[in-house]
């Protein structure tokens, strides 16, 4: 457990728990060390509870992603083949329908995003972990990233494109979130 205190131009003390469980405290410039320590001591119960919740969330997330083993070259190659067989026909269909042409589509086992579009390079990356989602939710990810080739930001034009090419996108997004939370509940 690490506690990091940062002095800033702020009028009050505040703290938060970061992803790794460390405590970050923001304190007004000039506030005494004793007052900062007293603040931390007064909130020890909150810190412990927040840390427990953070650790639980990390464990649940790991359990979800561990459902797709990628530990050996064989497992990674098998997943890649399944992923290509699933995604490439979708990519081809929607790219043609939308009149866009990604320069390259590649796959990585990313856990922070289901997909990513690099507008400048016109490349699309799909997370290997979309294999944990139903096919129609994977389709949502594909259309989402292709729409970014037409509209880089998540503005009203982007949403209109999503409505046009994949009208069930909001439902797919909700289902994806539900699956992750349900998987998390199974672990707890």
Chain segment 134-161, per-residue pLDDT in tens: 999 999 999 999 999 999 999 999 999 9
Beta bridge pairs of residue 28: 8
Q: How far apart are CA 184 and CA 65, in angstroms?
A: 10
Contacts for 18 with CB less than 8 Å, ≥ 6 apart? 24
CA angle 36, 38, 41 (to 5 degrees): 115
Distance of alpha carbon 79 from its chain centroid, rounded?
Answer: 20
Residue 87 contacts residue 106 (beta carbons within 8 Å): no
Domain 73-187 class? alpha beta
CA dist list (Å): 68 to 6, 88, 176: 40, 20, 16
The sign of the dihedral angle between the CA atoms of 73, 75, 76, 82 is positive
The mean per-residue pLDDT over the stretch 169-174 comes to 97
Chain segment 73-126, per-residue pLDDT in tens: 999 999 999 999 999 999 999 999 999 999 999 999 998 899 999 999 999 999
Residue 87 contacts residue 114 (beta carbons within 8 Å): no
Summary mean pLDDT of the chain: 93
| Sheet with 115-118, edge to edge strand ranges | 104-108, 123-127, 115-118
């Amino acid at each position: 457990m690490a506690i990091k205190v940062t002095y800033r131009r702020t009028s009050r003390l505040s703290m938060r728990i970061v992803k790794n469980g460390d405590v970050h405290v923001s304190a007004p410039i000039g506030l005494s060390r004793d007052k900062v320590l007293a603040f931390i001591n007064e909130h020890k119960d909150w810190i412990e509870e927040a840390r427990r919740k953070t650790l639980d969330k990390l464990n649940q997330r790991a359990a979800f992603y561990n459902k797709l083993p990628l530990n050996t070259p064989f497992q990674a190659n098998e997943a890649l083949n399944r992923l290509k067989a699933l995604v490439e026909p979708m990519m081809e269909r929607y790219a043609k329908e939308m009149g866009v042409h990604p320069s390259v589509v590649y796959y990585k086992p990313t856990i922070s995003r289901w997909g990513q579009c690099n507008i400048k390079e016109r490349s699309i990356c799909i997370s290997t972990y979309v294999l944990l989602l139903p096919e129609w939710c994977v389709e949502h990810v594909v259309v989402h990233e292709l729409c970014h080739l037409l509209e880089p930001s998540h503005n009203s034009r982007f949403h209109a494109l999503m409505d046009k090419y994949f009208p069930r996108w909001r439902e797919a997004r909700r289902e994806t979130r539900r699956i992750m939370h349900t998987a998390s509940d199974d672990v707890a």
